[in-house]
Amino acid sequence: MLIINGTAELMKDSHSFKKGDRHEFNMFSLNMPLEDQLAQIEEYLVTRGWDNIEVTNNGIVEDPASIEHAVLQAAYEKAKNEGFAVTINNQPLI
């Protein structure tokens, strides 16, 4: 499973986040490599209100047991079923 880290800007109003703020995200993609997934990743985030996406890091999760955070574990499982899953850091970047 591919894991992608980066930042994105919220482009529409949300009950949880402020429009215009930039947040870090973690995303899982069932398909690889990253280069083949960029258009789908962008579409996935844009349809959820995020744009100006910057990928800062990516890698492969070879052993899901190495994922220690419960939210990331849930996202990994969701991506196994749906192809993609994203988590957004609650704190905006300054």
CB atoms within 10 A of CB 86: 19
pTM for the structure as a whole: 0.87
pLDDT averaged over every residue in the chain: 92
Residue 87 has pLDDT above 90, yes or no: yes
Residue-wise pLDDT for 22-77, tens only, equals 999 999 999 888 888 889 889 999 999 999 999 999 999 999 999 999 999 999 99
For position 62, what pLDDT does the model report? Answer: 92
Residues 52, 11: Cα–Cα separation, whole Å? 9
Helical spans, DSSP H, in the chain: 34-46, 70-82
Instruction: Give yes or no for a contact between 37 and 2, defined as CB atoms under 8 angstroms apart.
Output: yes
Q: Quick one: pLDDT band at residue 92, thresholds 50, 70, 90?
A: confident
